[in-house]
Amino acid sequence: MEAKELTAMIEDIFTKCKKVMEGKGHDYTAGDSDRLINFKSVANRTGVDPLVVWGIYFNKHVDSINTLVKTGRQESGEPVEGRIIDIINYALLGLALIKESEQGRMVEVTDDSLDWLRLAAELQQGPCPPGRED
């Protein structure tokens, strides 16, 4: 690939990365201003560091690319470009978590601050299953 073509592809991918980050950001934060709240809330619920949560999410996307490399075929319906965009975005989110931690700004998420997240999860699940009234 010629340098000019590669530069154009990189610019296109970074534009797509930004669109995906902005679009999915709201889904994962339920409107919270902290774009890292999802990692922190899952870490709080599971008793691990937010970077551990990030690593699991990040590696899920890396694993899908490794499957493609090993087998020569894609198992999921998501295009390879979408997986690469997710990897780039997760790398940036991981860097943000590391920088926040280095600056001593990592804030522990409390149960009270997770109320909105629980509500969002319940709303996504739809109506209560039969026999359950809560």
pLDDT in tens, 64-122: 899 889 988 877 778 889 999 999 999 999 999 999 988 876 555 555 545 544 554 55
**How much is the pTM?**
0.73
Residue 117, H or E segment: helix 115-125
In a domain, 124, yes or no: no
In a domain, 134, yes or no: no
The CA-to-CA distance between both ends of the chain, in Å, stands at 58
In a domain, 125, yes or no: no
Classify burial at 117, counting beta carbons within 10 Å of its beta carbon; exposed 0-12, middle 13-18, buried 19 or more: buried
In a domain, 120, yes or no: no
Task: Give the highest mean pLDDT range of 32-36, 51-55, 129-133.
Answer: 51-55
In a domain, 122, yes or no: no
In a domain, 119, yes or no: no
Say if CB 89 and CB 36 are below 8 A apart.
Answer: no
What was the pLDDT predicted at 123?
53
In a domain, 17, yes or no: yes
Instruction: Residue 50: give the domain boundaries.
Output: 3-113
Question: How many domains are contained in the chain?
Answer: 1
* Cα pseudo-dihedral 107, 58, 119, 21, rounded to 10: 90
